Amino acid sequence: MRRKTTRHTLAAVSIISLALVVTGCSGGAPGTGAESSAAPKAFTVWDPYPQHTEGSDWAKRISSCGDKAGVKIERTAYDTQALTNQALLAAQEGTAADVILLDNPAVSTLADTGALIDMESVGLDTSAIEPNLLAAGVVDGKTYGIPLGANTLALYYNADVLAKAGVDPAGIKDWASFQTALTKVKNAGSKALTFSAIGTEEGSFQFLPFFWGSGADLKHLDSPAAVEALELWTNWVKTGIAPNSVISNSQNTTWEEFLTGDFGFAVNGTWQVNAAAKAPFKTGYIPIPAKNGGVAPAPTGGEFLLMPVQKDESRYDTSKKIIECMSTTEGQVKTANTFAYYIPATSDGQGLLLKDHPELKVWVDAVNKAKGRTSDNLGTDYPIISEQLWTAVQNSLSGAASPADALKAAQRTASEKTSK
């Protein structure tokens, strides 16, 4: 267990805009700590899914894991930001829940306070988890959480619009072929592409597949590869490939634009699979291509199962059983089926999911190429870097600065703030 005091700890509550992807978060009353260590009556779980109320499949699943562990689960749900704030405050007060499901970019922030038990120290095996999906929970070589599953980004397309333009989505393999497809769609009289470039974590989240797909890395925001990625997005707006609305689009408003039926493509996430199937036009999805071909690394979204430090250490054995129940191969497939937008974090789980849902292979492939935002041991520096990245995107797309100048300023500020 790490007990490290840093400059980030006190600032942690203010950077919780990290949590972005689809759902809300949870939080609630902490355990009293007065339970008998021999036969505890109740264990607390906080999760970020208030839309899944008592009696839902998700609530029943948590309850069943408590039954298997021989305890009653007291579950409380907050939205994402409220849960992360609650987790950080509880860490300071020593009143955290027994198990918390936390948005993955915030795991390193909570671990940095010394409030989490590392998985190895309590015998939780993480060897079956895909390394790229586990990475968001690894800090200084220690693993502080287990992913419940993962979601990420890909390209949705309107098959009718593409057919009218003579575009075969299977032919999109790199940036050049994607640009050709977008130009064809625009020339055929349709809107080509929409995405979210809003000045929040969502903007960084959507830009990262293109940033990473260019070969850039988050420690060097102003590298030639990074500039090339931002030039790509900026030129799309300048030439009308993408509308000016992307500058203020959230991922939800981007999706609403796509559902008008006017766009050929939209960047969006696994969580829209069910909505796409119900769209009034035929839809499909393909991976976001990297510049020189192949699947671009997209950021991983989703929650990690965490075990906070408790005054009564005898509770850890039961918490371990609850986490194991929720993170088994079968458990991860159940989560995928319950939430639709989660891909299991193990190859065995992905295989089981694809047996029933072969149409999700694109998403399995995307998740297996995905990358944690706090990977590369960025940890609590990530939100600082991300803010500078989305600021650069905003400045470039709005015309306030060139891509190169915007990223140069972003790197300068990121370096100053992360070196303090």
Q: Please write the tens of the pLDDT for every residue from 127-167.
A: 999 999 999 999 889 999 999 999 999 999 999 999 999 99
CA dihedral 259, 264, 265, 271 (to 10 degrees): 30
166 by DSSP, 3-state: which? Answer: coil
* pLDDT tens digits, one per residue of 39-92: 447 999 999 999 889 999 899 999 999 999 999 999 999 988 889 889 999 988
* pLDDT tens digits, one per residue of 189-215: 999 999 999 999 999 999 999 999 999
36 by DSSP, 3-state: which? Answer: coil
- pLDDT at site 420: 65
280 by DSSP, 3-state: which? Answer: coil
Give the range among 70-84, 118-132, 177-191, 329-343 with minimum mean pLDDT.
329-343
How far apart, in whole angstroms, are the C-alpha atoms of residue 272 and residue 263? 16
Query: Does the pLDDT value for residue 270 go beyond 90?
Result: yes
Contacts of 276 (CB under 8 A, 6+ apart): 156, 283, 285
Q: Pick from 306, 276, 373, 347: which is nearest to 45 by CA?
A: 306
Once rounded to an integer, what is the mean pLDDT over residues 386-407?
Answer: 98
User: Class for domain 7-151+300-369, per CATH?
Assistant: alpha beta
* DSSP structure class, residue 8: H
How far apart, in whole angstroms, are the C-alpha atoms of residue 208 and residue 184? 25
* pLDDT tens digits, one per residue of 216-267: 999 999 999 999 999 999 999 999 999 999 999 999 999 999 999 999 999 9
* pLDDT tens digits, one per residue of 4-33: 333 333 333 333 333 333 333 333 333 334
- The more confidently predicted of residues 336 and 410 is 410
* All structural domains of the chain with their residue ranges: 7-151+300-369, 153-298+379-418
* pLDDT tens digits, one per residue of 309-334: 999 999 999 999 999 999 999 889 98
- pLDDT at site 79: 86
pLDDT confidence band for 338 (50 / 70 / 90): confident
Q: Looking at domain 153-298+379-418, what is its CATH homologous superfamily?
A: Periplasmic binding protein-like II (3.40.190.10)
